[in-house]
Amino acid sequence: MTQEQSRFSFHRQALAEDLCSSLEGKGLVDNSSGLFLAAPRRTGKSTFLREDLVPEATRRNWSCIYVDLWSDRSRDPALLLAEAIKSAIAEHLGAIAKMAKSTGLDKLNIMGALSFDLSKVGQAGGITLADALAHLADKAGQPVLLIVDEAQHALTSDEGVNAMFALKAARDSLNQGKAGTRLFLVFTGSHRDKLAHLVLKKDQPFFGSQVTPFPLLKQDFTDAYTDWVNARLAAGNQFGKQDMYEAFQWVGHRPELLKTMIGEIALDLGTAGNLGQMLKQGAEGIRNRIWDSMESEVAGLTELQQAVLEVMVKKGKDFSPFTEDSLKAYREILGQEALAAHTVQAALDGLREKNLIWRSARGAYALEDESLAQWFSQIRGNR
């Protein structure tokens, strides 16, 4: 058995086809202005993008650019975007570009028609992102699909916000230009409220667009996984498909957590009695470990920080930390009659340092991990 055959894979071809058609404006839903997909972390979103959406776009003869803004969170997201576009241009410029890249030369002059410094794409004094994408579409002679994974991270810097506006300008320019030079944009995020900051207000780059929930993996996934697992087990030790799906629901439709749990259970199969019960216990155990970790982290916060988190969870995307309504809610939780704004700001700064909340460059706040809201609702919902 080859390594590829021994690795479980599950493809969502129909979903990839539907999304690509929507980008072309040919599906039941028109996403030609941009597709914004939100799904919790580790639910298979990035795997789908790489293993299903990009291959489908390639079959349609689109040039694909994929960039994950969380691949290096220490770097400005605008630079990550520029580098991804720069690499795509270099691939399409042929031998000259490859030679330049390999020898450290970034400035290219192609047939006298183009001269720019690849190292300055998207930077002051260099070619704009819009012009770079237009050149790529022209050179490739085909539409360009740009996928920005964890796109909300672009909003954490002024340069990142400017890059988002540049992509909007590039979309408008290319899609109104000559045939074959269309730009399709896909933005994904692990937190719906954070991704929504790209589209909700008039001063945001993609105002008017909608955030679409990314379809979670369902029982067809767990049925296929159950078959794959059972083929590697003795005939007397077989998992039930319904048991597997219920366990998958317990771990929040997260494939990697399900696989981790199966790996742990597999070590005990020699004494297995009821595999369905083991699946349930394993799923509960994983969830409890996650929630115990959250409990420990929240317990270490100050009372004000905990109050801010609680109000943030209850208000969701409508949360604004310094409104009179929010300040009143903090005071009620704390049992205080007065609360200074600067102390709330200090609490927000502390939560950011602990990577519990996120702040955009324009001052909007949201939870860093959406699962924290689930924990708050389950554990502290009756408060």
Whether pLDDT at 103 is above 70:
no
Highest mean pLDDT among 13-17, 29-33, 72-76, 159-163: 13-17
Q: Give the pLDDT confidence of 289-314 residue by residue, as tens digits.
A: 888 888 899 999 999 999 999 999 98
Predicted confidence at residue 112, as pLDDT, reads 33
The CATH number that applies at residue 203 is 3.40.50.300
| Boundary residue ending a domain (213, 247, 279) | 213
Residue 217 DSSP symbol:
P
Q: What is the pLDDT of residue 36?
A: 96
The pLDDT value given to residue 180: 57
Average pLDDT across the chain, whole number = 84
Residue 347: pLDDT band (50, 70, 90) is very high
pLDDT over 60 at 116, yes or no: no
| In a shared domain, residues 322 and 356 | yes
Sign of the Cα pseudo-torsion (64, 68, 123, 199, in order):
positive
What's residue 110's pLDDT?
A: 35
- Is residue 54 within 8 A of residue 176, CB to CB? The reply is no
Instruction: Give the angle subtended at the CA of 212 by the CAs of 144 and 10, to the nearest 5°.
Output: 75
Q: Which of 180, 213, 246 is the last residue of a domain?
A: 213
The whole-number pLDDT of residue 346 equals 96
Number of domains within the chain: 3
Q: Are residues 60 and 158 in the same domain?
A: yes
Antiparallel, parallel or unpaired: β 211-213 and 183-189: unpaired
Contact criterion met (CB below 8 Å) for 74 and 248: no
If we measure between CA atoms, which residue out of 238, 249, 331 comes closest to residue 286?
249
Say if residue 73's pLDDT is above 90. no
Quick check: helix, strand or coil at residue 375?
A: helix
* Residue 379 confidence (pLDDT) above 80: no
Q: Are residues 322 and 194 part of one domain?
A: no
Query: Could you please report the per-residue DSSP string of 243-302?
Result: HHHHHHHHTTS-HHHHHHHHHHHHTTGGG-S-HHHHHHHHHHHHHHHHHHHHHHHHHTS-
Interval 211-238: pLDDT, tens: 999 999 999 999 999 999 999 888 888 8
Shared-domain flag, residues 54 and 93: yes
Q: Contact, 58 vs 29, CB < 8 A?
A: no
Q: Which of 213, 232, 266 is the last residue of a domain?
A: 213
Q: Are 97 and 89 in contact (CB under 8 A)?
A: yes
In 3-state terms, what secondary structure has residue 238?
coil
Return d(Cα 92, Cα 103) in angstroms, integer: 17
In this predicted structure, what is the pLDDT of residue 120? 52
The reply to whether 10 and 110 lie within a common domain is yes
Cβ atoms 193, 373 nearer than 8 A: no
CATH number at residue 329: 1.10.10.10
The pLDDT of residue 349 = 95
Task: For the chain, give the percent of residues with pLDDT over 90.
Answer: 41
Q: Clarify whether residues 199 and 327 are in a common domain.
A: no
**Domain residue limits at 97:** 3-213
Do 176 and 264 fall into the same domain?
A: no
Same domain membership, residue 311 and residue 272: no
> Do 252 and 284 form a contact (C-beta atoms < 8 A)?
no
Highest-pLDDT range among 84-88, 133-137, 186-190, 361-365: 186-190
Per-residue model confidence (pLDDT) at position 339 = 92
Taking the C-alpha atoms of residue 115 and residue 106, their distance in angstroms, rounded to an integer, is 10
83 has a pLDDT exceeding 90? no
Question: Where do the H-state alpha helices sit in the chain?
Answer: 3-6, 13-23, 45-48, 54-59, 77-92, 95-102, 129-140, 158-175, 192-196, 219-230, 241-250, 255-266, 275-299, 303-315, 324-334, 341-353, 371-379
Of 83-97, 126-140, 269-283, 338-352, the one with minimum mean pLDDT is 83-97
Together in a domain, 44 and 98: yes
> 5: Cβ–Cβ under 8 A, 6 or more apart, which residues?
none
Q: Which residue has the higher pLDDT, 161 or 273?
A: 161
Label residue 81 left, alpha or beta by phi (over 0 means left) and psi (-120 to 50 means alpha): alpha
